[in-house]
């Protein structure tokens, strides 16, 4: 299942009066410096904040004309360092895609695809890239469990995936319809094991019930389905 997800990127483009080598039919052109600036969103009513990371492929495919022919630009970006990314392109109209590259069953960042077609990269404006995901996320507050033992999520007979840790949570993004067993411990040494099947576009927040010896409350929060990846052209 793929739906729009609340990941935002701002793509800035600043003009300089130069030419660029990816022009096949040479003509005086303006260069545009492109940079990415991710905004991290909280998903009400939960306070979970989506985590970006891993490698993503960014591709700008020009819409060529009879007078100007540009070649496509493809690059790989580490999304943790997205704010430092810069790329010069020739001003024009492009199809733009930004897709994460992880194909694992589970990972410690959200996987998504996003695109926008016929984008004029030549003036100040903001453009939406419709982003889709097949991930859901499992979360556990670090305040509720033994922080010296990393929780795991095991899918069938596969190797157990360690949950990541950020912003007061242990967490793991898991592909849609993936079933597995999550295991974690309390500070008193009591171990919890819970079978859980993930569904895309949902956060599953696990809360061990006090004095319950193994019982959990699982609160499910749907991802916001309105937002998308944003690009600003300056």
DSSP string, 20-56: -TTBSS-----EEEEEEEEE--B-TTS--B----SEE
On whether both 7 and 107 belong to a single domain, the answer is: yes
User: Is the full-model pTM beyond 0.85?
Assistant: no
What's the domain count of the chain? 2
Q: Which two tokens stand for residue 203?
A: 């956060």
pLDDT of residue 70: 83
On whether both 66 and 166 belong to a single domain, the answer is: no
On whether both 16 and 96 belong to a single domain, the answer is: yes
On whether both 115 and 93 belong to a single domain, the answer is: yes
On whether both 151 and 206 belong to a single domain, the answer is: yes
On whether both 80 and 147 belong to a single domain, the answer is: no
The order of strands in the sheet holding 86-90 is 8-16, 31-39, 86-90
What is the spatial distance between Cα 195 and Cα 49, in angstroms, rounded to a whole number? 24
On whether both 22 and 114 belong to a single domain, the answer is: yes
On whether both 216 and 229 belong to a single domain, the answer is: no
On whether both 12 and 108 belong to a single domain, the answer is: yes
Strand 179-185 and strand 191-197: pairing?
A: antiparallel
Give me the tens of pLDDT residue by residue for the chain, a chain 234 residues long.
555 554 555 555 444 333 344 544 554 577 777 777 665 555 667 888 888 899 999 999 998 876 778 889 899 999 888 777 778 888 888 999 989 999 999 999 999 888 888 888 876 556 667 778 899 999 999 999 998 999 999 998 888 999 999 999 999 999 999 999 999 998 888 889 999 999 998 999 999 887 777 788 999 998 865 344 555 555
On whether both 130 and 143 belong to a single domain, the answer is: no
Nearest to 64 by CA among 92, 89, 43, 83: 92
**Domain membership of residue 15 as a residue range:** 3-134+224-233
On whether both 211 and 161 belong to a single domain, the answer is: yes
pLDDT of residue 2: 54
pLDDT of residue 88: 81
Token look-up 């019982």 returns 215
Q: Taking a C-beta distance cutoff of 8 angstroms, is the pair 230, 10 a contact?
A: yes
Nearest to 55 by CA among 82, 20, 32, 84: 82
On whether both 31 and 115 belong to a single domain, the answer is: yes
pLDDT of residue 16: 38
């Amino acid at each position: 299942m793929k739906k729009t997800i609340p990941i935002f990127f701002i793509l800035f483009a600043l003009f300089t009066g130069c030419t660029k080598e990816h022009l096949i039919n040479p003509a005086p052109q303006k260069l545009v410096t492109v940079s990415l600036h991710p905004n991290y969103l909280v998903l009400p009513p939960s306070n979970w904040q989506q985590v970006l990371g891993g490698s993503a492929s960014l591709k700008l495919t020009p819409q060529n004309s009879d007078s100007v022919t540009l070649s496509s630009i493809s690059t790989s970006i580490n999304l943790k360092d997205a704010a430092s990314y810069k790329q010069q392109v020739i001003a024009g109209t492009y199809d733009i895609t930004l897709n994460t590259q992880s194909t694992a069953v589970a990972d410690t960042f959200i996987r998504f695809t996003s695109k926008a077609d016929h984008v004029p990269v030549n003036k100040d404006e903001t453009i939406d890239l419709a982003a889709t995901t097949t991930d859901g996320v499992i979360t556990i507050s670090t305040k509720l469990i033994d922080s010296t033992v990393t929780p795991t999520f095991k899918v069938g007979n596969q190797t157990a995936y360690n949950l990541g840790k950020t912003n007061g949570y242990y967490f793991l993004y898991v592909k849609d319809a993936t079933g597995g067993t999550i295991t974690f411990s309390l500070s008193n040494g009591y171990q919890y094991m819970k079978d859980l099947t993930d569904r895309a576009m949902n956060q599953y927040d696990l809360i061990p019930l006090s004095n319950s010896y193994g019982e959990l409350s699982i609160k499910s929060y749907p991802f916001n389905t309105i937002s998308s990846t944003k690009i600003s052209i300056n």
